[in-house]
């Protein structure tokens, strides 16, 4: 092993050249259909290699291999997800329902719009988005439903059963601009399954199932390479920073509002339960999108295909507010899936508004953008799988007393300056949280003989903490190349045995 001293008072991290990411992974624009508002709500590649896109204003187009676009459907209500469902059919998650679009004539345009599931409530609140679907290994469809926001009330006419649980009554909540949102909680669930993940049989004929509770604004849902259900949420009330959950059936994932839809619920208003009670109930996220430093509003996950070499089977996420994507590399520790997050494609050339991601059969990553009068952009860009990856942190492995950092190529130990810290976020009803219980962690690093594995011994690993590993000097490739994304954030749910 090659040993080198840790610089205790290292200089502030030096960023790689602004175009280093774009040079390593050039970004090109994909032309979108003419005269269409090209904000992307859903995007998927079909089995034959064509690209299907659901645009926010309700159109679905299919891009042929020659780059031309053909309209497949229209008139949809805010579609926020799309997948293929056999030959000549697509499934789209609209705001009011999960819909199968069928072309039964073979003419390339849907002539049948069939409702697969609409058994969830709608109160008229502007924030009641619906995300998905994601198809599970069991063939079922999984969708995630947003909570309502206290920035708005509800309509007098609703769909679904009204829950009387909560401080604000229905009359107060239909008062329009006169409604005092604090009575209902920052985000609330007064009609069925708001804040829940639901499981729906693929054909839509069987009963839908409440799969998991505890979500706020889950704009990212999908399955990883091994069939784990991933749902990421947005920072806010009960969310110190945006979490990534690996969701299991029956789990409670942190935001209390949706607990009222748990079968047999009899504990009153879940927003009034003691923090200690909720803490014992909730499943911990396997990763954290560090607010501001990494991601403000994470979106759809996508799994790297084989063309991305060492990154294959890892996950990349979109990000709305910042011109950056986020990469996650996980591992199973004592039956829990957890791991590290890294900045990815961190360049202004990408622009923000990165909402929907899809990999082509050739391995190219396509990113669809949106803004909807908020932070963001529009259009579609493409990043081809590079012939050779830049120098990156490939993954981080948790040891019983420390970490191993694996790189995509050998590094120069004389230039590395790793700085290790830990911190956590407070779990509470307040919107967001500062970093708390922050500590600097001294370490004496050692580099493997092949220059690709750095060991960082630590005297203590603490469960429930994010461990930040940052490299103060980025020009650490053996040929002087910069380390791109020179920081990792590992969420320790369970310690290594």
Task: Name beta bridge partners: 352.
Answer: none
90-136 pLDDT, tens digit per residue, is 999 999 999 999 999 999 999 999 999 999 999 999 999 999 999 99
Q: Is residue 397 part of a domain?
A: yes
Q: Is residue 42 part of a domain?
A: no
Q: Is the pLDDT of residue 7 over 50?
A: no
Q: Which of 259, 196, 273, 234 is nearest to 432 (CA)?
A: 234
Neighbour-count burial of 157, counting CB atoms closer than 10 A to its CB (0-12 exposed, 13-18 middle, 19+ buried): exposed
Q: CATH number for the domain including 473? A: 2.60.40
Confidence at residue 17, expressed as pLDDT on a 0 to 100 scale: 53
Grouping H, G, I as helix, E, B as strand and the rest as coil, residue 77 is coil
b/e map of 239-278 (b: 16 or more CB within 10 Å)?
bbbbbbbbbeeebbbbbbbbbbbbeeeeeeebbeeeeeeb
Maximum separation of any 2 CA atoms in the chain, in Å:
70
Per-residue pLDDT band for 14 (boundaries 50, 70, 90) equals: very low
Number of domains observed in the structure of the chain: 1
Report the 10 Å Cβ neighbour count for 87: 10
Report the 10 Å Cβ neighbour count for 230: 24
- Strand segments, DSSP code E, in 275-425 are 287-289, 298-303, 315-319, 325-333, 336-344, 354-359, 365-369, 379-383, 393-399, 402-407, 418-425
H helical segments located in 341-424: none
Q: Is residue 443 part of a domain?
A: yes
Confidence at residue 19, expressed as pLDDT on a 0 to 100 scale: 84
What pTM, to 2 d.p., does this model score?
Answer: 0.94
pLDDT (average), residues 408-429 = 95
375-406 pLDDT, tens digit per residue, is 889 999 999 999 999 999 999 999 999 999 99
Confidence at residue 178, expressed as pLDDT on a 0 to 100 scale: 66
Confidence at residue 12, expressed as pLDDT on a 0 to 100 scale: 38
Gap between the Cα atoms of 207 and 296, Å rounded = 36
Q: Is residue 455 part of a domain?
A: yes
Supply the range of the domain harboring residue 409. 2-9+392-492
Q: Is residue 354 part of a domain?
A: no
Q: Interior CA angle at 173 toward 172 and 178, to 5°?
A: 70
pLDDT (average), residues 243-267 = 97
Q: Which of 334, 312, 147, 131 is nearest to 237 (CA)?
A: 147
Task: Tell me what the pLDDT averaged over the chain comes to.
Answer: 94
Q: Is residue 27 part of a domain?
A: no
315-332 pLDDT, tens digit per residue, is 999 999 999 999 999 999
Q: Which of 1, 4, 120 is nearest to 415 (CA)?
A: 4
The full DSSP string for 135-185 is E-TTS-EEEEEPPEETTS---SS-BSPPP--SSS-HHHHTSGGG--GGGG-
Q: Is residue 451 part of a domain?
A: yes
Q: Which of 266, 256, 299, 485 is nearest to 393 (CA)?
A: 485
Strands 229-232 and 242-247: antiparallel
Gap between the Cα atoms of 210 and 198, Å rounded = 5
Q: Is residue 462 part of a domain?
A: yes
């Amino acid at each position: 092993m090659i040993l080198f001293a840790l610089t205790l008072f290292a200089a502030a991290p030096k960023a790689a050249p602004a175009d280093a990411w774009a040079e390593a992974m050039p970004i090109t624009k994909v032309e979108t259909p003419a005269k269409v508002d090209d904000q992307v709500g859903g995007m998927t590649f079909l089995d034959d290699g064509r690209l299907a896109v659901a645009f926010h204003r309700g159109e679905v187009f299919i891009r042929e291999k020659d780059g031309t676009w053909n309209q497949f459907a229209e008139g949809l209500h805010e579609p926020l997800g799309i997948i293929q469902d056999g030959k000549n059919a697509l499934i789209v998650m609209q705001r009011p329902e999960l819909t199968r679009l069928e072309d039964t004539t073979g003419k390339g345009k849907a002539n049948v719009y069939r409702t697969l599931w609409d058994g969830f409530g709608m109160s008229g609140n502007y924030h009641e988005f619906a995300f998905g679907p994601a198809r599970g290994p069991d063939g079922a469809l999984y969708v995630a439903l947003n909570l309502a926001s206290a920035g708005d009330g509800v309509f007098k006419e609703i769909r679904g059963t009204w829950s009387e649980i909560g401080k604000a009554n229905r009359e107060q909540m239909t008062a329009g601009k006169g409604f005092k949102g604090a009575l209902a909680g920052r985000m609330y669930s007064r009609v069925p399954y708001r804040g829940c993940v639901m499981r729906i049989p693929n054909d839509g004929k069987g009963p839908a199932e409440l799969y998991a509770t505890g979500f706020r604004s889950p704009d990212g849902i999908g399955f990883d390479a091994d069939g784990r259900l991933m749902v990421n949420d947005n920072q806010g009330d009960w969310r110190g920073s945006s979490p990534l959950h690996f969701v299991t059936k029956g789990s409670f994932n942190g935001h209390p509002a949706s607990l009222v839809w748990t079968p047999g619920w009899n504990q009153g208003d879940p927003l009034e339960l003691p923090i200690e009670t909720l803490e014992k109930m909730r499943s911990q996220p396997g990763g954290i999108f560090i607010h501001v430093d990494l991601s403000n509003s994470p979106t759809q996950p996508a799994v790297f295909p084989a063309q991305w070499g060492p990154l294959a089977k890892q996950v990349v996420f979109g990000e709305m507010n910042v011109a950056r994507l986020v990469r996650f590399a996980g591992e199973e520790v004592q039956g829990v899936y957890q791991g590290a997050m890294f900045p990815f494609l961190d360049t202004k050339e990408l622009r923000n508004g990165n909402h929907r991601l899809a990999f082509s059969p050739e391995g190219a990553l396509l990113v669809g953008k949106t803004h909807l009068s908020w932070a963001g952009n529009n259009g579609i860009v493409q990043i081809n799988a590079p012939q050779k990856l830049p120098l990156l942190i490939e993954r981080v492995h948790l040891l019983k007393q420390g970490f191993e950092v694996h790189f995509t190529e050998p590094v120069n130990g004389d230039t590395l300056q790793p700085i290790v810290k830990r911190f956590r976020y407070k779990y509470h009803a307040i919107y967001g949280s500062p970093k708390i219980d922050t500590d600097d962690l001294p370490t004496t690093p050692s580099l493997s003989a092949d220059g690709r594995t750095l060991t960082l011994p630590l005297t203590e690993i603490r469960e429930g903490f994010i461990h930040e590993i940052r490299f103060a000097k980025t020009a650490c490739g053996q040929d002087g190349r910069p380390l791109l994304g020179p920081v990792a954030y590992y969420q320790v749910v369970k310690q290594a045995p």
